[in-house]
Chains A and B, each alone.
Chain A
């Protein structure tokens, strides 16, 4: 079963509009972390935002915010006032720790294209 599900393979958004990228996850561990990464065409992975499972408030980093709904097991990324430079692949990922071993599992990604 998929641990991280991103159901939007691609999205097109008008510049300056807000965009929401969906992410649902599956874990039975009470302690976990959720990440969003941006991958431009150069291939590097750029960390955007982090949400811990025990965090009471939704994480925010500049134009990025994470809409964390724990009961629904969703962690959607919201980008406000989109810019042309936001065009990239976006990956949701979950950190789990099992018997002291920590690993990060990724979804299949969403390709976001910002239209001028």
Chain B
């Protein structure tokens, strides 16, 4: 079955460490997105990519980095510069310019300890 796989489901990080969240899709979607969700809040866009080797900053990109070396993969690195990284992270993909919904992964819950 096609879909988006995010791993790990839970991640614990020590302060000052970088961590990388994985997002892989086998839907042949061109566009991929990373969102952050804080408790009781909506989703905020971190980074997005429309094509391989190209990506754009979203609304809250500071302290994060991404790469898009393959169409299927869009890993997110939470750097030590991100002051409050504890949150729920969701990856999504879509066929650009199509009208139907985006497909989301099941999320990674990151906790700084």
Instruction: Decide yes or no: A103 and B58 within 8 Å by CB, A52-B99, A109-B42 being known contacts.
Output: yes
Q: How far is the CA of A103 from the CA of B107 in the complex (A)?
A: 19
B48 within 8 A of A: yes
Contact of A45 among B56, B90, B94, B99 (CB under 8 A): B90
Against A, the Cβ 8 Å flags (1 = close, 0 = not) of B24-54 are 0000000101010000111111001010000
**B-side contacts of A44, CB under 8 Å:** 104, 106-107
Q: Are B33 and A45 in contact (CB under 8 A)?
A: no
Q: How far is the CA of A76 from the CA of B2 in the complex (A)?
A: 31
Question: Using a Cβ–Cβ cut-off of 8 Å, how many residues does chain B contribute to the interface with A?
Answer: 28
Q: Are B100 and A103 in contact (CB under 8 A)?
A: no
**B-side contacts of A37, CB under 8 Å:** 101, 104
**A-side contacts of B56, CB under 8 Å:** 101
A14 within 8 A of B: no
Contact of A102 among B50, B106, B109 (CB under 8 A): B50
Instruction: Decide yes or no: A50 and B42 within 8 Å by CB, A43-B106, A44-B106, A102-B50 being known contacts.
Output: no
**Main secondary structure on chain B at its contact with chain A?**
strand
How distant is B112 from chain A, measured CB to nearest CB, in Å? 19
**Main secondary structure on chain A at its contact with chain B?**
strand
User: Which residues of B pack against A, CB within 8 Å?
Assistant: 31, 33, 35, 40-45, 48, 50, 56, 58, 88, 90, 92, 94, 96-97, 99-104, 106-107, 109
20 contacts between A and B (CB under 8 A): A4-B42, A6-B42, A33-B99, A35-B101, A35-B102, A43-B88, A43-B90, A44-B104, A45-B104, A47-B103, A93-B43, A101-B56, A102-B48, A102-B96, A102-B97, A103-B48, A104-B45, A106-B42, A107-B42, A109-B40
